[in-house]
Structure 1
Amino acid sequence: MFLPLHDVNPHRHVGFPYVTYGLIGLNILIFAIQMLMPHSAVDEAAIRFGMIPIVVRDLYPAPLPWLPDWATLFTYAFLHADWLHLLTNMLFLWVFGDNIEDALGHIRFLVFYFACAVLAALAHLAFNWSGNGPLIGASGAVAGVMGAYILLFPHARVFVLARIVIPIPLPVPAFWMLGFWVATQLFYVLIGSTEPVAWWAHIGGFLAGIALAPLMRRKGVPLLSGR
């Protein structure tokens, strides 16, 4: 329905958000490797490295004996189903990640990102207790970045590509853009959508970002800023 293009929110603490760009590059690299593999091998990778609820709960043996069950709470976030899945996640991370890295610092941002990935996966597990399919994708971790952004920079302007008659870029406050996004996730949960989308991982990651951002931000970084 809309895509963020860029925001108007200058950095105040870091010159270059290399953790954000490093995560984007790593996701693209892993996906490129996936694309070089046979289709059957890609499916096998999703099973081996995706987060499968019944495997994490020790109800079913892990596909890779040398990989601990809990490790897939991290590895799932670096696999994607297709180019659209990858590019959408990376676009949101590119637009919002640099400012959260600026507000938290490089190391804490990396810890924050992985914490949101884990908490998003646990939210998915909680509402898919007997699920036997793999959860993959960076969207839970990226949702955490978005949750932090709406708390730290709700007034920052975000240019989104909106289709009214023709697609045009429109500047909107981050609060409205991200608020609409999370409302969409809740809507699909409430109507019981059967689409193959991990709605609860998105919601869990978003709430994790809101909860962690005040605890992990730099001293002096205010809440509800971005004007």
Structure 2
Amino acid sequence: MFLPLHDVNPHRHVRFPYVTYGLIALNILVFIIQATLPPAAFDEATIYFGMIPIVVRDVYPAPLPWLPDWATLVTYAFLHADWLHLLSNMLFLWVFGDNIEDAMGHLRFLVFYLLCAVLAALAHLAFNLDGNGPLIGASGAVAGVMGAYILLFPHARVFVLARIVIPIPLPVPAFWMLGFWVATQLFYVVIGSQESVAWWAHIGGFVAGVVLAALMRRRGVMLLGGR
């Protein structure tokens, strides 16, 4: 329905968002490696490194004996199903991640991102206890970044590509754009959508981002943009 293009929200503390761009580069690199695999090996990689609820719960043995069950709560967030899956997640991370890194600092932002990935996976697990398919994708962690953004910069302008008659860029407050996004996730959970989308991971990551941002922001970074 819409895609974020860029925001109007200058950095105040960091000159360059190394961690945000590093995470984007790492996700792209991992997917390039995935894409070079034969189809069977591609599927095996998602099983080995994706987060499978019945494996994390020790109901079923881990596909890779040397990889601890808990490790997939992180590794899943660096795998993607296809280029569209990858690029959509990286677009949201590119638009919103730099300001959250600015608000937290490089190292703290990295910890924040990984924690959001873990908590998003645990939310997915909590509502899919008997799930036997692998959860993959950065969307839970990126949802955490979006949750942090709506808490810290709700009034920042975000230019989105909206389709009215023809696709046009429109500036909207971050609160409306991100609020609409999370409302959409809740809507699909309520109606019981059967699409292969991890709605609860998105919601869990978003809530985690809101809570963690309140705790991990720099001293002096105001909630709600200081308003």
Counterpart residue number, 1:118: 118
Conserved? CA contact 1:154–1:226, under 8 Å: no
Counterpart residue number, 2:203: 203
How many residues get paired? 227
Conserved? CA contact 1:155–1:226, under 8 Å: no
Counterpart residue number, 1:77: 77
Query: Counterpart of 2:162 in 1: which secondary structure?
Result: strand
Task: Give the alignment's TM-score, normalised by structure 1.
Answer: 0.99
User: Deviation digits for residues 90-142 of structure 1, max 9, x if unmatched?
Assistant: 00000000000000000000000000000000000000010000000000000
* 2: CA distance, partners of 1:30 / 1:138: 12
Counterpart residue number, 1:93: 93
Percent of pairs with identical residues: 86
Counterpart residue number, 2:67: 67
Counterpart residue number, 2:24: 24
Q: Which amino acid aligns with 2:216?
A: M
* 2: CA distance, partners of 1:99 / 1:70: 30
Counterpart residue number, 2:174: 174
Report whether the alignment pairs 1:145 with 2:145: yes
Q: Report the aligned-residue RMSD.
A: 0.8
* 2: CA distance, partners of 1:110 / 1:53: 25
Counterpart residue number, 1:225: 225
* 2: CA distance, partners of 1:161 / 1:4: 6
Structure 2 unpaired stretches of 5+:
none
Counterpart residue number, 2:162: 162
User: Deviation digits for residues 32-81 of structure 1, max 9, x if unmatched?
Assistant: 01111101101000000000000000000000000000000000000000
Q: Which amino acid aligns with 1:115?
A: L
Query: Counterpart of 1:178 in 2: which secondary structure?
Result: helix
Task: Give the alignment's TM-score, normalised by structure 2.
Answer: 0.99
* 1: CA distance, partners of 2:32 / 2:126: 31
* 2: CA distance, partners of 1:200 / 1:29: 27
* 2: CA distance, partners of 1:209 / 1:109: 11
Structure 1 unpaired stretches of 5+:
none
Q: Post-superposition shift, 1:182?
A: 0.1
Q: Post-superposition shift, 1:22?
A: 0.1
Q: Which amino acid aligns with 1:223?
A: L
* 2: CA distance, partners of 1:226 / 1:100: 15
Report whether the alignment pairs 1:215 with 2:215: yes
Conserved? CA contact 1:9–1:226, under 8 Å: no
* 1: CA distance, partners of 2:43 / 2:21: 27
Query: Counterpart of 1:160 in 2: which secondary structure?
Result: strand
* 1: CA distance, partners of 2:188 / 2:42: 28
User: Deviation digits for residues 11-42 of structure 1, max 9, x if unmatched?
Assistant: 00000000000000000000001111101101
Which consecutive segments of 4 or more residues in structure 1 shift more than 4 A?
none
Q: Post-superposition shift, 1:226?
A: 7.8
Counterpart residue number, 1:9: 9
